[in-house]
Amino acid sequence: MSNDTTTPAPATAPPLGVGMVGYAFMGQAHSQGWRTVSRVFDLPLSPAMAAVCGRDPDAVRAAAGKLGWAAAETDWRELIARDDVQLVDICTPGDSHAEIAVAALEAGKHVLCEKPLANSVAEAEAMAEAARAARERGQLAMVGFNYRRTPALALARRMVAQGRIGTLRHVRISYLQDWLVDPDFPLAWRLRRELAGSGALGDLGAHAVDLAQHLADAPLTGVSAQTETFVRERPLPGGSGASGGSGGSGADIRTGAVTVDDAALFTGRLASGALASFEVSRVAAGRKNALRVELNGTLGSLAFDLERLNELEYHDQTADAAESGFRRILVTEHDHPYLEAWWPPGHGLGYEHTFVHQARDLLRAIAAGTDPEPSFADGLQVQRVLAAVEDSAAKNSVYTPVPLP
Ligand SMILES: NC(=O)c1ccc[n+]([C@@H]2O[C@H](COP(=O)([O-])OP(=O)(O)OC[C@H]3O[C@@H](n4cnc5c(N)ncnc54)[C@H](O)[C@@H]3O)[C@@H](O)[C@H]2O)c1
């Protein structure tokens, strides 16, 4: 099905046709990025929002109109085949990432794929191999670890690379949510291993692992982990009696088994010699999207809290002890990362801007023919860490090496 709905706004840079699969949470966030990016940043390419794909014809047509896509498709294969699509943006659950990404790369399209890259190491390996082969033909692939593109975290990375906190000793990341505290929350796709790969681990832990490796500029070499599923049965969505249900207390409430973790705790070693610790949970009551990062080095520390995402805390250990302590850097200056084109200092950015920055970086890489980051190889490395965490947790936290590329 193809159905024209809107006409993209004219732009001076040459267009790059984008086709997006999935139009719910991430689809909306990515749409905002594609709609906004060339209206803020001066770019060598301008995204043309050619078509969006979903499975329900009426719903995808409505989404196309609302989100600003020129056409709607109901089969991702048709989307990939379109002549006006040069970049395929994958915003579906993990079970379809590998199939769509490999097909798009083999069809000569660039690919942006949401995280985690895949549901298994084997799938991620196939995707990384497809990306490597596509690179030789000029097509590029990137994973959507958008938190890298929060200006304060990009500044943290810059300061670490500049040696401002010396040799990194500790990376400490917690990423906590609470939407699964309620045991009656239904068995959505994120709670089913065959669709999501893992639970809080792949959902939140993937971001945490990517950030740790990115900020430290070093891979994790091994982990020791514990995972837990606190609520092991949940109502099937809509109270239906679909197969897989195992009985329930209400008249027409059937339940199914939760097959992923609610929370994961793990420690690890980075190749640089630093120690890392991680806590991720979707049952941390009161915590909505609490991503916190702290880095401690020989010369100082940096701390970030997503709930105050325009700020970075910095402690300079070399300062006079009488006046030293953490100080707040308001990351809204034009020479801070990503802020050259936004508002005057002090006016602040939000969550959605990370997706604008993601689109900016990918368009620039495609125009320049340079490798965008994080690459599919980076996504594969994260997948290997997630697998090592699950292996370790299954073996009573035994220290489990992460295979290096
Ligand atoms: N970067 C982030 O911060 C972030 C946040 C949330 C989710 N994600 C990731 O984004 C991906 C999607 O998550 P979401 O929260 O948007 O999920 P969602 O459930 O809100 O949306 C998924 C969309 O995919 C569509 N879909 C599923 N299978 C499809 C198919 N075969 N063909 C076409 N459409 C299909 C659904 O209809 C829906 O529109 C996941 O990989 C998730 O881990 C990333």
**Which pLDDT value is given to residue 238?**
81
Q: Could you tell me how many residues make up the chain?
A: 405
3-state secondary structure of 356: helix
Angle, helix 97-106 to helix 121-137, in steps of 10 degrees: 20
Q: What's the pLDDT tens digit per position in 64-98?
A: 999 999 999 999 999 999 999 999 999 999 999 99
Asked if the model's pLDDT at residue 274 lies above 50, the reply is: yes
In the DSSP assignment, the letter for residue 202 is I
Question: The domain at 15-147 falls in which architecture?
Answer: 3-Layer(aba) Sandwich (3.40)
Best mutation site among 1, 20, 26 for ligand 1, i.e. most ligand atoms within 8 A of its Cβ?
A: 26
**Cβ atoms of 25 and 63 closer than 8 Å:** no
For 314-330, letters b (16+ CB in 10 Å) and e give bbbeeeeeeeeeeeebe
**Cβ atoms of 77 and 18 closer than 8 Å:** no
Angstrom distance (rounded) from CA 271 to CA 219 = 6
For every residue of 159-183, DSSP letters joined together read HHHTTTT-SEEEEEEEEE--TT-ST
In CATH terms, are 15-147 and 149-348+376-400 the same topology?
Answer: no
Pocket lining: 94 vs ligand 1, CB cutoff 6 Å: yes
Ligand 1 center–CA 16 separation, angstroms:
23
Say how many CA atoms lie within 13 Å of 121 toward its Cβ: 14
**Which pLDDT value is given to residue 239?**
61
Q: What's the pLDDT tens digit per position in 362-375?
A: 999 999 999 999 99
Ligand 1 center–CA 166 separation, angstroms:
39
Instruction: Collect all residues with Cβ–Cβ distance below 8 Å to 152 and sequence separation of at least 6.
Output: 304, 309, 310, 311, 312, 329, 331
Write out the two tokens for 297: 């080095």
Q: What's the pLDDT tens digit per position in 298-314?
A: 999 999 999 999 999 99
Domain ranges of the chain: 15-147, 149-348+376-400
Pocket lining: 24 vs ligand 1, CB cutoff 6 Å: yes
Atom 28 of ligand 1, residue of closest alpha carbon: 92
Ligand 1 center–CA 115 separation, angstroms:
10
**Which pLDDT value is given to residue 245?**
37
Give the pLDDT band (50/70/90) at residue 11.
low
**Which pLDDT value is given to residue 8?**
46
**Cβ atoms of 244 and 235 closer than 8 Å:** no
Residue 217 φ then ψ, to 5°? 55, 45
Angstrom distance (rounded) from CA 403 to CA 10 = 47
pTM here is 0.95
Atom 6 of ligand 1, residue of closest alpha carbon: 26
**Which pLDDT value is given to residue 252?**
59
Q: What's the pLDDT tens digit per position in 169-217?
A: 999 999 999 999 999 999 999 999 999 999 999 999 999 999 999 999 9
Give the pLDDT band (50/70/90) at residue 247.
very low
3-state secondary structure of 59: helix
Pocket lining: 68 vs ligand 1, CB cutoff 6 Å: no
| Strand 255-257 relative to strand 263-270, pairing | unpaired
**Which pLDDT value is given to residue 242?**
42
Pocket lining: 22 vs ligand 1, CB cutoff 6 Å: yes
Q: Is the dihedral of CA 366, 367, 370, 373 positive or negative?
A: negative
**Cβ atoms of 89 and 67 closer than 8 Å:** no
Write out the two tokens for 296: 């401690």
**Which pLDDT value is given to residue 246?**
40
**Which pLDDT value is given to residue 7?**
42
Asked if the model's pLDDT at residue 9 lies above 80, the reply is: no
Mean pLDDT of 142-152: 98
Ligand 1 center–CA 95 separation, angstroms:
10
Pocket lining: 376 vs ligand 1, CB cutoff 6 Å: no
Asked if the model's pLDDT at residue 128 lies above 90, the reply is: yes
CATH of domain 149-348+376-400: 3.30.360.10
Mean pLDDT of 255-272: 98
For every residue of 112-161, DSSP letters joined together read EEESSS-SSHHHHHHHHHHHHHHHHHT--EEEE-GGGGSHHHHHHHHHHH
